[in-house]
Structure formats: C-alpha cells, structure tokens
Chains A and B, each alone.
Chain A
Amino acid sequence: MTLWDLFWGFFVANVLGYGGGPASIPLMQEEIVNHYGWLTNEQFADVLAVGNALPGPIATKIAAFVGYQVDGWAGFAAAILATVVPSAVALIVLLRILNHYRQSNVVRGMTLMVQPVIAVMMLLLTWEMGKVSIGSIGIWQSVGIAGVSLWALTKGKMHPALVIVAAFVYGGLVLSSSMA
C-alpha cells in the first residue's frame, strides 16, 4: 500500500508539472507534506537544500530521497519510476503525434495556462519555507541570510550550489552556538 502511495503521489505531482522539474516542486510538497505526511515542512526544506547542493535533475533527487525514507530501496525505486517513466514513455511513444500538434493552440494553451497556477503554488511554498526558517533561527538571521543570498545569486551571479555551501559554512561556524 505504501509503495502504491509513493507511486501515485509522485506520478500525480510530475504528470501535472508542466515546465520541467521545478514546476513539480510545489506539487510534490503537496503530496509529500500535506497529503501523505511523509515529511514535515522542515524536512522538506532540508531535502531542497541538499537537492540544490547536488547536481542532476531536482525532481528525481527529491523522489529518490523521499522514496527511500518512506520504504527503503523499494520505495526509492517506486518513487523514481513514477517520476521518470510516464513522461519518458510519453515522449518516445507520442513523438510522431506530438510533432503534429506541437504548434497547435491546444497544446500551447495547456502549457501556458499552467504557469500562473505553478507561480502561485511556488509563492505559497516560498511563504511556508520562509516561516520554517523564521521558526528555526528567528526573523533577523533569516532576513539577513536571505538578503545576502539574494544579492549573491542575482547581483553577484554566484552559483546556487556555492551559495548553499557558503550558508552551510556560516551555519556551522556561527549558528551552531545558538543551537541547543
């Protein structure tokens, strides 16, 4: 039953995620945290942190960890299968048909219309993760780190993985003293 839940949860989150892996992040959070309760929001934030520090597609990394956490290597396999196989098979099987409809208003309209929903879900998730951060290190540290990292990512053009590593170092050196 758990394996089926894993498969179904990740299948739904990815089959609705138009716009690549990142579009599936808020849909996965909905299944993982809100629906099945496999992780808390805090743990989901950790998964995103480590996921963004490692290379490779984000959706499969999240699936790999959550699947493993919930049901060991069988869960790992089930979650990854559900994430990758449906869309990969669809691309191979539908290639000819899709080629015909790619420029059609139907397919373009579907892809476009999902964007505002994903944007709003992403906004809500940003809010949730902001609350998680304030809950763990307070408003001033949160705003300070957020400000510096926003500057580093946009103006400083720093690589996201480096920003995460820098935050790890800062936390290990500075915040560790305030952690009980």
Chain B
Amino acid sequence: MSSYLLALRPLEFFFAQYRRVWRGTAVTSVVTPVVYLLALGVGLGVFVDRSADLADGISYLEFVAPGLMAATAMQLATFESSWPVLSAIKWDRQYHAMLATPLRVGDVLLGHQTFVAARLLMTSTVYLVVITAFGAVDSPLGILAIPVTVLVGLSFSTSIAAWAAHTENEVSFVAIFRFVILPMFLFSGTFFPISSLPAPLEAIAYLTPLWHGVTLCRSLTLGDVELWSGLLHLGYLLACVTVGLALARMTYRRRLVL
C-alpha cells in the first residue's frame, strides 16, 4: 500500500464532517465574493476609477477581484487549519482514533491538508465564476488563478497547522487572525499596489505569500502574465507550502508521538 493512498483515507472523515455544514459554506462561498465585489469593485471602484489612474486603463474592479480571490483563500485556509487541527488533537481527538489504525502521522497530516486543498478548490472555483460574471476576468488564462489560489491557501494552512499542533491554547488563533492575517489581507497588494506603502512595509509585503499570490492571480485574470516573474511567484508559493509541511510534520510528530 503506497503512502499516498494511506493519506487519502482520512479524507472520508473530513468530508463526512463537512457534509453537516456544506449548505452554509456553499451559500457563503457565493455570497462573499458578490458582497465584496459590489462594495469594493462596483461601489468604491466608481470613485477610484474617477480619480486614480491604474495601469493600462484597467478598472478597479478588474484590479481588486483577483486579489480578493487570493485573500479569501488565505482566510479560509487559516481557519480550516487552526481550530479543526487543535480539536482533532485535543478536544475531539479524531487524530488519535486515526493513529490507532494503520494510518501514520504523515498520513493524518497529508489527509487533513488534502481536505483543506479540496475546500479551497471548491471555494476558488465559485469565486472565479462570480468575478467572471462581474466582468472582472479578461483572459482565459484566468482559469489558472484557481490552482494558484489553492496554493496560496496551502502556503498558509500548512504553517498554521504546524502552529496549531504546537500550541496548547486556542487564544493564539485569534491573535494570528488579528495581527497576521488581517494586516496581510489589507496590505499585501489586494486593495492597492504595495508601491504605495512606506519602503520598509513594502519590503515586508514582498515576503508575504499573499502578495505573490495576489500578483500572480491578477496577472492571470488580466492576461498580462510574464513567464519568469510568474514562475518566480509560483516557486515562492511552492516553497512556502514545502516549508509549512515540514514544520507541520515536525510539530505533529512531537505532539502525537509520545
């Protein structure tokens, strides 16, 4: 039995759990982009388009929509790998049930992250459909924004899962949302180019996986992606996922193998 197949076995559990809430999340995944696009793309966009001059005459809607798609994936992924991971270790203890069976720590981790990836895939697909309906996608290359968005999510969820397996206390999740995720949401190029930031903050923004994701998604939906910079962004995201998985493997092991 290859280890890849073992890692798929926990998926069934996460989907069974998800079945209980899927209606709510399905509505949310449609409503969220609609509301954001109406408020920011259409509402705020009218003012922005009147006063500012975005490159190549693109509208603010076209600018902000792909950014929102990536930023939303970040939030979903962070949530899915924080409370659920700690719960599976500490409160509901499902990981312990899995580990009593042939599954190994690596299978449990990969299985959970595969589920997060599946959730990201569903949400991103809906998001792309909605922003396309709003007329914010100019190129067929835009469809590649879906896998990129999944990667953006995973670059967060793997590290967050690593933290969740390390911490004793869910209070830290609230702090992460407030002091890491929210600032990234606001200042990583989703709503305005990071060149508008003061130089030190701009330098920090370059390091965030979200900026790379937002920039790549935007160049795909606008259809002006350049091969080398595109590969650079992709490589950065893949590196984040790899490092996150390595960290998570370490903290999972430390927490679960006693």
Q: Are the chains A and B members of one assembly?
A: no
